[in-house]
Structure 1
């Protein structure tokens, strides 16, 4: 059993990280020398649950770019918590494209003067090529009978998720937890929706086992057999559930509602210009919105921007009751200050 589970973890692409939150390289196969005798090098920084996506999207882009321009390009992607990636790029990390898990992190790079503050306007859909959601993974037979959000707060249920203090991806999960409770309180006609959200989220996060990155939580749940429920990004959980080595070990639970996780990307202009690859970087981000790019995105259980391609993959991406960040929260700077700064909501509720 352990051998099968370990094989599954490895198949998910470096699921076992010696140090949670460390960066990992995903490098497409080096192309042949271009007609000009030079291979353009493109560096991309992304967040944790995109390893499998970029293992396929990068070489697809390299082939597409060669066909369109006759030039060779070699794309290399490194992965780590979104917030750390943003801070590192702003501090001088040489990255041509930022494909992160929350637009606030790309704003951090913009504030460092490396790309315009209007970066959202340069690509379709506010520079968001796909979205995700928050769903649950339980063990076969669902022994603790986890049916929805409320079960995460039961004292006998051990839940696992990434730490919201570490990265943007984990913050989406936390905000979905908070907003669910607030929305439920409002639907019940309560006037203390914020207090209800605080109380519920505290019960969940005070007891939850937190890891610096989503992959760390997945490893702990799958390989170390820790906990009763993993709650996190839909694409990560559906990949685990679909893996032949673990398909008979787990079940997916779809909660009553979830926040729409909006995933942005942008060219880091100053770095790409310095490297002489601005045109390549622009083609790369645009490729995400192409039919080929959208197909690869949907294949990895992400919800594509293209309605036509989303419809083709409706069977693997089940309907969810989704709400938007802007419907429940003011803006990311306010959320960061209220929930994730030192001594804010998250710190107050994590007594253990």
Structure 2
């Protein structure tokens, strides 16, 4: 079971391990699940792989599920979650990493696992809302007093503003941030009456300015650590839940300010049972209960407490004061599909590579 650790402690530990993080390493835990019907008193283990900014969420959600499962079935289960860049998690699972549940940051990564034959291509249909229990957005974090006067997206392109974010080459979470940057520029150009071709050119120019100068880390937590512990840069732009956790942590009181940009992409985060692995471990029923727990009132409440935007409208309304009003748009409003986006923006020699002159 993931042990409960305050965010400030996590950040301190992450700072000490920054060189490892920058090299692309992520926290891992070896998990061997006991089969169903094991000896009385034996705890069955469930292995979950997730992306970086969910660490604090699963420190609360996993024990809650364990309690609920014990009360419901009388059986003990120990959920162990490891974290790392979403894309790498998907590739590792597809290559044989023993994972019963994948809770990743983009459905394209779950599709990678499905293409390896470990779960059906129709996995989205097995849970509500296309198997997306919550969403997030892209917002900014600046230092107290906002010394560089960062107000919105355009300020990220100013040469005197040093920004930090995760590397879109590494994981799905970082790709959402990149796509939000690109789509903002398209939307702005269209609002100014520019043609589709002109809007695309404007997006390319703007995103190049942002990403050519940005300091990139393999994962969002690495960027957060650099910004906080090493006091590097002027603005951290990334996932809303990660930034609000930092801003509301007692150890950082008065050190930072949140800046809400004019618009953001809706970040949709899926999860799915990795059928073939869960069946081999004899934990398919537990894995299915675990993913459904995310959509329960208790699961949605825990999700909202960690500054995520829950699927449940009732829970979202209850926690509305945690999240500032923000103009949100969907992936499909500006992009066709993830395979096309991966080829056009993130493939070898694609848009992102052309931007990274330095």
Alpha-carbon distance in structure 1 between the residues aligned to 2:29 and 2:249:
20
Q: Is the 8 A contact 2:7 2:56 kept in 1?
A: no
* Other structure's SS at 2:150 match: coil
* Matching residue within 12, 23, 34 for 2:26: 23
1:204 is the counterpart of 2:210: yes
Shift of 1:10: 1.7
Alpha-carbon distance in structure 2 between the residues aligned to 1:348 and 1:310:
40
1:160 is the counterpart of 2:164: yes
Residue 297 of structure 2 is matched in structure 1 by 291
The 3 A distance-change label for structure 1 pair 111 and 148 is same
* Matching residue within 84, 100, 112 for 1:80: 84
- Aligned residues between the structures: 342
Alpha-carbon distance in structure 1 between the residues aligned to 2:347 and 2:85:
17
Alpha-carbon distance in structure 1 between the residues aligned to 2:60 and 2:117:
31
Residue 107 of structure 1 is matched in structure 2 by 111
Normalised TM-score (structure 1): 0.94
Q: Is the 8 A contact 1:26 1:51 kept in 2?
A: no
Alpha-carbon distance in structure 2 between the residues aligned to 1:113 and 1:174:
29
Q: Cα deviations across residues 106-143 of structure 1 (Å, max 9, x unaligned)?
A: 00000000000000000000000000000000000000
The 3 A distance-change label for structure 1 pair 260 and 14 is farther
Alpha-carbon distance in structure 2 between the residues aligned to 1:291 and 1:26:
29
Q: Is the 8 A contact 1:53 1:297 kept in 2?
A: yes
Residue 9 of structure 2 is matched in structure 1 by 10
The 3 A distance-change label for structure 1 pair 109 and 72 is same
Shift of 1:256: 0.0
* Matching residue within 50, 57, 69 for 1:46: 50
Q: Cα deviations across residues 219-273 of structure 1 (Å, max 9, x unaligned)?
A: 1100111100000000000000001111200000000000000000000000000
Alpha-carbon distance in structure 1 between the residues aligned to 2:83 and 2:145:
33
Alpha-carbon distance in structure 1 between the residues aligned to 2:118 and 2:199:
40
1:216-295 → structure 2 map (5 Å cutoff): 216-295=222-301
The 3 A distance-change label for structure 1 pair 26 and 230 is farther
Runs of 4+ in 1 over 4 A off after TM superposition: 11-14
Residue 142 of structure 2 is matched in structure 1 by 138
Alpha-carbon distance in structure 1 between the residues aligned to 2:346 and 2:25:
21
1:339 is the counterpart of 2:351: no
1:311 is the counterpart of 2:317: yes
Root mean square deviation, CA, Å: 1.8
Alpha-carbon distance in structure 2 between the residues aligned to 1:26 and 1:238:
27
Normalised TM-score (structure 2): 0.93
Alpha-carbon distance in structure 1 between the residues aligned to 2:186 and 2:14:
34
Q: Is the 8 A contact 1:265 1:285 kept in 2?
A: yes
Residue 355 of structure 2 is matched in structure 1 by 349
